Amino acid sequence: MCKQTLVDEDLICAAVNRSQLDQTLSIGNSSEAMCNVTVIAHACSSATHLTPNNLVRLVLCTLESNRTYPVEAWKLLFQKALTSVDHALESFATMAGNNSFPSSSNALDALGEVRIANFTQAQLQSGDFVKSWFRTLRPLLASPSSNFLFCLSAKNFSCQSYQTVIQVFSNQTQSTERKIQQRVYTHFVKPFLSRNDSSDPGCVSSVNGSTEWLQANIGGFSKFATLHDLRGLNPNFSSAESLSVLTPAQVAQLTLSSGASNDTDQIDRVFERLEEGNAVDNVAEFLTQLRAEEKVGYSWH
């Protein structure tokens, strides 16, 4: 279930001297002034000083210093500075360059609730809008929470919009921990493609063939899917057609599937696939998966 964060401003700001705070912030709005005051203090202020430039300074220096604040504090901050958020994010994406911020999870959660939750149906269906917005979020996507991803999976994206989001996440995989990649697959990719309340469940009709479907809809997270997953998400999925892009573990599952081990042509293609890239690692992964499947029993029908 997608959980929303309740914000109790009185509770968050109970220890903040607001009158002294507003006086302090009115004296100067330099980068140093922005960064010398905590996110909680800024969130508890009148927020009149939180222009796009000031907001981006605050977000950047906070994340660069790896200081963490609860989702409630970030959400209150973004609610107070709502008119500045979009412009600040555009500047933030430019200033961050190729850097990513593992401590950004709570800020991302808050943005999900303050901005993404309020996207209109037309915006969610627009590939161009979604592409533009998620590109600005890119530096914050290094460590999305399970809740952020699950909430995202419930959005009424068009298949084009969804595929845009997957592309942005896939481009982050080299700088993202494996457990985070697994989280993206488990809490975003699989739930979204499993939905049956769209005009194109599984985004099957929007692509040509199984290979294109796998690359467009699962992208860099396909290694976390089992062959059973792929067949469940796409009833038309052809293992034979997409063999060249299956992982060695998925190839092992295919080998154990009904009839595959008795098909000499298929077996020849399996070994050709394992020889691609690092053959030693591929064979090791393949054999490891075979042993695992044999231990628990298998049914890849």
pLDDT in tens, 56-115: 999 999 999 999 999 999 999 999 999 999 999 999 999 998 888 989 999 999 999 999
49/42 Cα distance (integer angstroms): 9
pLDDT digits (tens, 9 = 90+) for 142-190: 899 999 999 999 999 999 999 999 999 999 888 889 999 999 999 999 9
Count CB atoms within 10 A of the CB of residue 239: 19
Confidence bin at 301 (pLDDT 50/70/90): very low
Q: What percentage of the chain's residues is helix, strand, coil (to nearest 5)?
A: 70, 0, 30
Residue with tokens 């300074």: 57
Its pTM stands at: 0.88
Segment 236-254 mean pLDDT: 89
